[in-house]
Chains A and B, each alone.
Chain A
Amino acid sequence: MSKRIFITGIGIVSSIGNNEKEVLESLKSGRSGIGISKTLQSIYRDEIPVGEVGLSNNELSQLAGISVNISNSRTALLGIIAAKEAVNNAGISNINEFKTGLISSTSVGGMDKSEIFYKEFTKNKTKGRLRDIATHDCGESSQNIAKNINLNGFYTTISTACSSAANAIMLGARLIRNGYADRIIAGGSDALSLFTINGFNSLMILDRNFCRPFDETRSGLNIGEGAGYVVLESEDCVNKTGKTVLAELTGYGNACDAFHQTASSPEGDGAYLAISKAFKSGNIKPEMIDYINVHGTGTPNNDLSEGTALLKAFGGKVPYFSSTKSATGHTLGASGGIEAVLSILAIRNKMVIPSLNFKEQMKELTICPVKQKIDNVEINHVLSNSFGFGGNNTSLIFSKV
């Protein structure tokens, strides 16, 4: 029997709320965070809807409790806010009391600042404010978050595109099980940037309307931003502190689709493998899962591939499922962290979160997502899927304690 991994704290900032409480309110009222960006300096601003955190960088700095005079990337600011909330939520007063580490993830790190730098730099190689390029690498936000939660211990950064944060949570659990840490803060952060908006636009997979995961008429995703972190603790650690446990991480699995650099295989092989590994690692049977927080980006390719994998993994009897990206937008490297928090909120509030904008059943599938919130559901086990470019597929299972 492997050592148990408990979740004792959660933290979130996203387009549907700047903390756990606000996010829960939005989930209950079915509010979407997708709309026209207030801050983005893009020619597509009025055309491409996004899931934006409705605060300026200065406002985010204030919320993070740091000086507005220090130039931080938006990814770092979002990460600091959510990681701090998770640490406080776990009731940690001295973070270095146990062997604690941070596994943070991001897909583009400080790209929002790099864009500002490059505007000057491309014209003249001696121009551009250096502080705007000093946050370019993906590790900067992790180091910055570690500093702001006063962590002396180990930190590292995962960047496997849209499965990054799920991989961070999985690595955190494995480090604890192998005795390298007692406690890990794990999750991810990504800010909106011209780079990602134009990147996905060049791939022609951005919906000009609200995204419609698992709908016959779906035509792409909406990019979002935000951060989500969880505090993972060993059983020993929890016993010593006598802390409230929010949920347990019971299963995890990662597999590679090895089909295409950006597209998923039509049969969903990688997704099926990741889900199967998660079942096996947690000794959980498919029929035990009460709710699936799907990857569900709303692209024609993902939803067909993932749906096919679900039918196979659950032998046709697929439990309640929904894509919360319909409310938050696809937050890329942060999505696995944000959706971990949402999965835990579903368990704690006995609530199946709805998929927004779903109308028409997909022709190829026999299943459809939950359209309306369902209350008073005993949710014992949630499967959370996160799939990334390069066929990097990760599934996590969160369980009621």
Chain B
Amino acid sequence: MELYIKGINTISPVGSFDNIDNLPEIKATEEGLKYYSCIEPLAYKEIINPVLIRRMSRAMKIGIASALFCLKDAKLEMPDAIITGTGLGCVEDSDKFLVSLIENEEKMLNPTPFIQSTHNTISSQIALMLKCHGYNSTYAGRGACFETGILDASMLISDGEASNVLVGAYDELIQNQIKILYRLGQFRNNNTIKNISGNLPGEGAAFFVLSDKQSDTDYAKLVGMDIISSDNFLTENICDFLNKYSIELKNINSILLGSENFILENSKYSDVINIFPYSNLLWFKHLCGEYMTDSSFALWLASNILKTQNIPEKVIIKKNNTSALDNILIVNKISGNQTALFLLKK
């Protein structure tokens, strides 16, 4: 896998890369349940046709705007393929249709939320806007949905089916879902430390243009990606993964961890950090919260760090070296008991 990242964009709770050191505001529901929420573009109409925007839910606006901004960033008008990943898709629409079918006892239902609840709504809306007849796919739910999208893109490129692939992920957070997530015990309200936590529900969209052609303006090179299905041999699997790309553990400059906390002792990442004593330790979930496709935010962050050669203060847990910033390894435990690994080079 040698993929060049041509363009990137995110719509997330932290806004832009320049804004990272201003940590996102933690919001709360009327019951006081904390969560992160996206900073949305003020004028969607500048990027999305106003005629199309009127029926769009927030997830659609976030996802589609991020995809279109990403294409602009890559100076690409027409991708060869469009691939998305999403945990719950347009959950506001699913929620709306479910509630209205129950409240109206199945009568007089407006079809729009049903149509938009389909998980591939955003990948097909982007295709519709661009008139892109190429390959189109969507991966959904727990497990490696965004990561499968990256794998799919890399195969399209290596098979010669595509040269530029638009691949991204989106997940929106709605009030009913926050209540359910807290009731399920996936989040606890009391674990913010000095108002910083990665263990809060979050949301966001991030899109990438991946290509096999190198150029001076690339953000980074995605050298490898893997999805580890079991926690039992995680460190062994990480070593095998790096071996495959002929990189020694000690030569990994920084690891970007999906930890929900900046205290790593006794965390689910403690085994991982033990094999990387010389690498800088970074984290990201306090910038976007936790959601099924948050690996996409990590990939956006790492790409920016490599391009700008600047690690923002607020993402550093521990600095262990001062060597040249030439690579980053992302290790993110995702829902559904899988761990995603991404290896990026300058």
Whether chain A touches chain B in the assembled complex (some CB pair under 8 Å): yes
- Mark A residues whose CB is within 8 Å of B: 42-44, 107, 109, 114-115, 118-119, 121-122, 125-126, 130, 133-134, 136-140, 142-143, 152-161, 167, 171, 174-175, 177-178, 180, 194-195, 198-199, 201-203, 254-262, 269-270, 273, 388-392
Chain B residues with CB under 8 A of A256: 82, 124, 127, 132-136
Task: Knowing A139-B143, A261-B115 are in contact, say whether A161-B133 is a contact too (CB < 8 A).
Answer: no
> In chain B between 164 and 194, which residues have their CB closer than 8 angstroms to a CB of chain A?
176, 179-180, 183-184
Chain A residues with CB under 8 A of B235: none
Contact between chains at B97 and A159 (CB < 8 Å)? no
Q: A387 vs B314: C-alpha distance in the bound complex, in angstroms? A: 47
Chain B residues with CB under 8 A of A154: 144, 227, 229, 338
Task: Knowing A174-B159, A195-B101 are in contact, say whether A390-B140 is a contact too (CB < 8 A).
Answer: no
Shortest A336–chain B CB gap in Å is 13
Contact between chains at A390 and B98 (CB < 8 Å)? no
Give the contacting residue for B114; candidates A109, A180, A198; CB below 8 A: A198
Stretch at the interface among B8-16, B147-155, B267-275, B324-332: B147-155
Contact between chains at A254 and B120 (CB < 8 Å)? no
Closest A-chain residue to B103, C-beta based? A122
Determine if B139 is an interface residue (Cβ-Cβ < 8 Å). yes
Task: Knowing A109-B141, A160-B137, A180-B151 are in contact, say whether A392-B180 is a contact too (CB < 8 A).
Answer: no
Chain B residues with CB under 8 A of A388: 118, 120
Q: A259 vs B229: C-alpha distance in the bound complex, in angstroms? A: 38
Stretch at the interface among B105-113, B207-215, B252-260: B105-113
Chain B residues with CB under 8 A of A114: 98
Closest A-chain residue to B142, C-beta based? A139
Contact between chains at A157 and B115 (CB < 8 Å)? no
Closest B-chain residue to A41, C-beta based? B106
Determine if B87 is an interface residue (Cβ-Cβ < 8 Å). yes
Q: How large is the interface on B (under 10, 10 to 19, 20 to 34, 35 or more residues)?
A: 35 or more
Determine if B263 is an interface residue (Cβ-Cβ < 8 Å). no
Chain B residues with CB under 8 A of A201: 109
Determine if B292 is an interface residue (Cβ-Cβ < 8 Å). yes
Q: A154 vs B98: C-alpha distance in the bound complex, in angstroms? A: 32
Determine if B119 is an interface residue (Cβ-Cβ < 8 Å). yes
For the complex, would chain B's binding face be called helix, strand, loop or mixed by DSSP majority? mixed
Chain A residues with CB under 8 A of B338: 154
Q: A200 vs B247: C-alpha distance in the bound complex, in angstroms? A: 53
Residue-by-residue, is B215-229 near A (CB-CB < 8 Å gives 1, otherwise 0)? 000000000000101
Q: A389 vs B139: C-alpha distance in the bound complex, in angstroms? A: 15
Shortest B226–chain A CB gap in Å is 9
Contact between chains at B133 and A269 (CB < 8 Å)? yes
Determine if B102 is an interface residue (Cβ-Cβ < 8 Å). yes
Task: Knowing A137-B88, A161-B118, A202-B110 are in contact, say whether A130-B134 is a contact too (CB < 8 A).
Answer: no
Chain B residues with CB under 8 A of A198: 97, 101, 106, 109, 114
Contact between chains at B145 and A157 (CB < 8 Å)? yes
Determine if B336 is an interface residue (Cβ-Cβ < 8 Å). yes
Contact between chains at A160 and B229 (CB < 8 Å)? no
Chain B residues with CB under 8 A of A125: 176, 179
Task: Knowing A198-B101, A389-B120 are in contact, say whether A43-B106 is a contact too (CB < 8 A).
Answer: yes
Shortest A258–chain B CB gap in Å is 5
Shortest B228–chain A CB gap in Å is 9
Determine if B54 is an interface residue (Cβ-Cβ < 8 Å). no
Contact between chains at A203 and B111 (CB < 8 Å)? yes
Residue-by-residue, is B329-346 near A (CB-CB < 8 Å gives 1, otherwise 0)? 000000111100000000
Chain A residues with CB under 8 A of B159: 174, 177-178
Interface centre among B82, B103, B111, B227 (most CB of A within 10 A): B111
Determine if B42 is an interface residue (Cβ-Cβ < 8 Å). no
Task: Knowing A142-B141, A157-B141, A261-B128 are in contact, say whether A171-B106 is a contact too (CB < 8 A).
Answer: no
Q: A118 vs B95: C-alpha distance in the bound complex, in angstroms? A: 9
Contact between chains at A121 and B176 (CB < 8 Å)? yes
Chain B residues with CB under 8 A of A152: 229-230
Contact between chains at A157 and B140 (CB < 8 Å)? yes
9 A-B pairs with least C-beta separation: A390-B124, A139-B141, A199-B114, A139-B142, A138-B141, A159-B119, A159-B140, A202-B111, A137-B141
Contact between chains at A43 and B125 (CB < 8 Å)? no
Shortest A293–chain B CB gap in Å is 21
Contact between chains at B89 and A159 (CB < 8 Å)? yes
Q: A260 vs B127: C-alpha distance in the bound complex, in angstroms? A: 10
Q: A258 vs B131: C-alpha distance in the bound complex, in angstroms? A: 5
Chain B residues with CB under 8 A of A119: 102
Determine if B138 is an interface residue (Cβ-Cβ < 8 Å). yes
Shortest A161–chain B CB gap in Å is 5
Contact between chains at A139 and B118 (CB < 8 Å)? no
Task: Knowing A137-B87, A153-B229, A195-B101 are in contact, say whether A261-B106 is a contact too (CB < 8 A).
Answer: no
Closest B-chain residue to A151, C-beta based? B229
